Homo-oligomer: A and B are copies of this chain.
Amino acid sequence: MHLCRADADVLFGRGYEFKPRNELYQPGQFAAQETVTLAGPRGTLSGVRVLTPLRQKSQAEVARTDAIGLGLLPPVLQSAESGPATRIIIVGPAGVVDLPDALICAHRHVHMSPQEAEQFRVKDADRVKVRVTGVRAMVLENVIVRVGANFRLQMHMDTDEANAADVSLGAKAYLVRE
């Protein structure tokens, strides 16, 4: 769950400061101790972790399996700003927000630094294939490359994708050159 300042104020109280729980692998990004609950027409999803720093626009990212539990069908998008997202109700300890355009299934992507992009001979916004091995080996196509000075090499997929490939944090993956 990414929150903007205004929504954080409603959900947690005006000017609320989130407490870092752990640093993420991408520098400067944190998982907060605080979580929210998502509410849809079919069910709710609790324990959805807030990520910091705050953003310009709130965005909730769920796996398709979780979305089905909510009774919603969000699009697969890079961000809620890259296309029309789905309405979602967020419940926090201090209040509720009804966001008309904030729920997405995150499009899988690979973060990398400019140096790493050069090594792989790819550039920002390229689409690549990534292969994982094992009993559920697969080639994931249409993986977005995201190059940034602050990024470190890491592939982001959701729980459905990780479980379908039977991989977990720290698994090795191969960028496939045609």
- How far, in angstroms, from A157 to B138 measured CA to CA in the complex? 13
Cβ contact of A64, chosen from B108, B157, B163, cutoff 8 A: B163
Interface residues of A in 127-144 (CB under 8 A from B): 135-142
- Kindly report which residue of chain B lies nearest to residue A108, judged by CB atoms: B136
A164, CB-defined interface residue at 8 Å = yes
Residues in B with CB closer than 8 Å to A166 are 64, 76, 105
CB distance from A72 to the nearest CB of B (A): 13
Cβ contact of A142, chosen from B76, B136, B163, cutoff 8 A: B136
A123, CB-defined interface residue at 8 Å = no
- How far, in angstroms, from A138 to B65 measured CA to CA in the complex? 18
- Kindly report which residue of chain B lies nearest to residue A161, judged by CB atoms: B164
The reply to whether B63 and A163 contact each other, CB–CB distance below 8 Å, is yes
- How far, in angstroms, from A32 to B102 measured CA to CA in the complex? 38
Identify 20 residue pairs between A and B in the complex whose beta-carbon atoms are under 8 Å apart, listed by A's number: A63-B65, A64-B164, A65-B159, A65-B160, A76-B166, A107-B135, A108-B136, A135-B142, A136-B140, A136-B161, A137-B142, A138-B138, A138-B139, A138-B141, A139-B139, A139-B141, A157-B164, A159-B160, A163-B164, A164-B165
Give the B-binding residues of A (Cβ under 8 A).
Answer: 63-65, 68, 76, 105, 107-108, 135-142, 157-161, 163-166
